[in-house]
Amino acid sequence: GAFPQKRGLGLVVQTQMSKKGRVFSGARPTGRQHLGNYLGAIKNYVALQADYDCVYCIVDLHAMTTLEDLSQIKANTAEMALDWLAAGLRPEETILFVQSHVPQVTELHTILSMFTPLGKLTDLPTFKDKVRLQPHNINYGLVGYPVLMTADITLYKADVVPVGVDQQSHLEFAREVVRTFHHRTGRQVLVEPQMKNTEFPKVLGTDGKRKMGKSENNHIELALTPEETEQMVRTMVTDPQRARRDDPGDPEVCNVFTLHKSFSSSEDITMIDRECRTAGIGCVDCKKLLARNLNEHLQPFRERRAELAKDPQHVWEVLHDGARRASAIAAETIAEVKAAAGLP
């Protein structure tokens, strides 16, 4: 029942007083989403719709800071939006759009950059990481990335931003920029966003070592067929100490068990936790069960995705409709910011 209606575009939904405020979150267009994206973001995005007015943005401009091959941005945007919609984002109420479709964000970025000390940006650990990771492409946009993120959040007057531990420093940074802007202009026109700390399960890839990710090539995509899913699950690395079928295993160090905890029934989880430790269940059967439960869980998603994919234009209509609604908020904010900043 949580799946969005296909139609209903152009509907401007009034802010519902019953909701707790506005949430903003952005994600880079990475194409087809995997289990890590699902457990780490999408599931939460869907759930937040019940309590908040949600603004979800596909941040194509941010993607440009690290991509060298830009040719995939458009296709990746469409694929990601398809997955989000199929997973239960409801565009009739949630604003789902592409960052660059609302150009005021770059305007706000420029204005806020004047209130941001350069040293703060170059001192951020995330910037230093990027310098280390892409020494041949230390572009100007990379330095300003947190300012653009601040513009994303504040342009849409978000009250709340869901963040994992790794992004807390960026949100704290955004709050500081807002305070500086208010202090120097003497006008409180922006909303200082609150952090909504969210505990995400740590999802490792099929290698059982690194975080699940496309660049690591250790991911399981949501949109795979049941057979492909089973095949991927079969390749998963289990408890490395369990060399033979008769060896007892430790589910706590096994990534297959981590996924069971998210996709299997409590009976299955209890059974595996017990039987793995006594070698009552083998890894082959344990994985078969995981694949079955995963496929069962993802079946409505896959049906819905196939339905949506029949009309490739539809996803762009949804995104453009979202951009129109986002623009209405953005126009208001930018006017207030310019007035506060004393621009003629």
Angle (deg, nearest 10), helices 104-113 and 312-341: 40
Task: Identify which of residues 286 and 294 has a Cβ nearer to ligand SF4 in the complex.
Answer: 286
Q: Which of 151, 171, 286, 326 binds ligand SF4 (CB under 6 A)?
A: 286
Task: Identify which of residues 52 and 257 has a Cβ nearer to ligand SF4 in the complex.
Answer: 257
Segment 222-281, which members bind ligand SF4 (CB under 6 A)?
238-239, 242, 249, 251, 254, 256-257, 272, 276, 281
Shortest distance (Å) from residue 13 CB to ligand SF4: 44
CB-CB contact of 276 with 286 (8 Å): yes
Q: Judged by CB under 6 A, how many residues of this single chain contact ligand SF4?
A: 14
Task: Identify which of residues 121 and 281 has a Cβ nearer to ligand SF4 in the complex.
Answer: 281
Q: Give CA–CA dist 312/307, Å, rounded.
A: 10
Shortest distance (Å) from residue 26 CB to ligand SF4: 35
- Give yes or no for residue 301 binding ligand SF4 (CB under 6 A): no
- For the residues of 204-236, what is the DSSP string, one character each? B-TTSSSBP-TTTT---BTTS-HHHHHHHHHT-
Shortest distance (Å) from residue 334 CB to ligand SF4: 53
Shortest distance (Å) from residue 216 CB to ligand SF4: 20
Shortest distance (Å) from residue 281 CB to ligand SF4: 5
List alpha helices for the chain, DSSP H: 35-37, 43-48, 60-64, 73-87, 104-113, 118-123, 125-133, 140-155, 168-185, 226-234, 255-263, 266-277, 283-309, 312-341
Q: Give CA–CA dist 40/28, Å, rounded.
A: 14
Phi, psi of 10 (to 5 degrees): 75, 0
If we measure between CA atoms, which residue out of 205, 214, 232, 210 comes closest to residue 294? 232
Task: Identify which of residues 238 and 333 has a Cβ nearer to ligand SF4 in the complex.
Answer: 238
Q: Give CA–CA dist 255/15, Å, rounded.
A: 41
CB-CB contact of 46 with 223 (8 Å): no
Task: Identify which of residues 131 and 279 has a Cβ nearer to ligand SF4 in the complex.
Answer: 279
Task: Compute the CA torsion angle 70, 210, 172, 84 (nearest 10 deg).
Answer: 60
Shortest distance (Å) from residue 63 CB to ligand SF4: 35
Task: Identify which of residues 170 and 287 has a Cβ nearer to ligand SF4 in the complex.
Answer: 287
Task: Identify which of residues 149 and 254 has a Cβ nearer to ligand SF4 in the complex.
Answer: 254
Q: Which of 283, 318, 323, 326 binds ligand SF4 (CB under 6 A)?
A: 283
Shortest distance (Å) from residue 276 CB to ligand SF4: 3
Q: 113 pairs with which residues across the strands?
A: none
List residues binding ligand SF4 (CB under 6 A): 238-239, 242, 249, 251, 254, 256-257, 272, 276, 281, 283, 286-287
